[in-house]
Structure 1
């Protein structure tokens, strides 16, 4: 967690000095949203329903596993979902948008989360900073019944039929201020206009999402091992380049896994240098990290590198609502 982010969540007094800038941020956000809401700026209306899975805070809240869970639920009902994304983590001077993601794509081309979604679910995924453009490309194939947007709550250029917001139940909304004085992308009052709010680690079954570790998967070979496979390992290294690495490490603690911990920035582009000296050690990582490390999985590193597969469990009422929207 960066120093500024830590200040947001501990309520540092000096952040009040940023309130004038925050006021300007709020004003601009309100003007922009109002312009789209009143039709002064025209939003693209997809021919198929659009479901947004987003948040109002900066940083990871666990949206991508929610998108994956919704994709799987829709597929089980015989529907054909597709996913669009901004493509955070794509390398600016390499990536070309829009990018239709395939299993052979590289995270540098499309971002780590879209690549994770495509490899995990096999559904069509298109990435572009202009999500309306991504939606058009996605629908051009004719194989999509409903568009799921991984993030994009504030991307009003794309009209939506359902808005789902994911909030970290522990961190909440921080100090309640908008950027840069706090973590909010929009004022907390925005939550009153969305369709559903679900909390990571919440205590209300109909408004909570639970993340359940399933098994360990070898980064190189795809071999699966049970959750307790590394409980007795004494020379493991756990790496995490995600928004909240502490959550991954806490999961390891819950699995009685003792490992050296190394953190990297969110969407970190791994290189062999990051694994120097780890050739003969067990490496444990998140699935989001693994999609960027598969190409680095060479003998001595990849043979004993594993990622934790995690599934999101959603309220049944939320799934039914998304299915209802998709069947329109």
Structure 2
């Protein structure tokens, strides 16, 4: 089967959505399918809307000789007009990680994004969702279409942490070692985490921040000012982007993964942290509840509530037996979760079915 994938900037970025796309493409290629990646430069939302008038983008899409065209839904501002103007019978399948209209922005801007996003969703033939909550969110905007839910796996690295180590690590003296992993943008909630941690005694915690600081430089400057205003410089380490090996080492030595996002369509990072025996402090908004069981493998907290973050982190810091118990439960849940091979199975089967519906193909 010949497939195309349209995605901003190719597959080199480090966020969970890019990791998802990268793993699906690699899995499909391993099974003998031909996958052509069509990169579109990611600029601002308004600039990417102009891609709909771009002859270069139109030429790249027209040149594709594929049976099924996959599109990362986050590219929707660049594709809505191109999809409406297509005149072939190649099915277009949108991979939806989360909707941009669920991100934090001013009311009028979000109304505009919502309208454009809805128009894009109407132009595609089918969907691949990363979670049932993501599917429900999309079906709140447009009528249901053929779809498959293919949850991400977390098994691309071997955590190398035994349950005995998870228990002994939790009982080690000293501050609770909190790890934040995510692109440094407002949606990921680092500011909420910092405010929550600052409400706790300084000797109870330390924080390592792992993530790309180049995507939203103004937000990073806000975070720098917040760290200074809260006087927590000695407790916070900014590690920047890390290789898989370096990230694994950081998670292996941590106690708690904390990413209190405003919204997550799924939250691959929660699952990956659980593989290292780290309970997850996760967003109660969106798909994280499919990964994290509140009170058993982590805590689900409402977006934008530092006080709730402080209460959750404080309970882990002062009750290390509970931390150990939840760390082992997190690892058990990780082991029971579907793998990346399972996700590729679902996408492959679904895409094959879409090809047959649209056929015939050479």
Range class of TM-score, shorter chain = 0.3 to 0.5
Q: Which has the higher contact order (CA 8 A, sep 6+)?
A: 1
For the pair shown, the structure with the greater C-alpha radius of gyration is 2
TM-score scaled by length of structure 2: 0.37
Structure showing the higher helix proportion among its residues: 2
Structure showing the higher strand proportion among its residues: 1
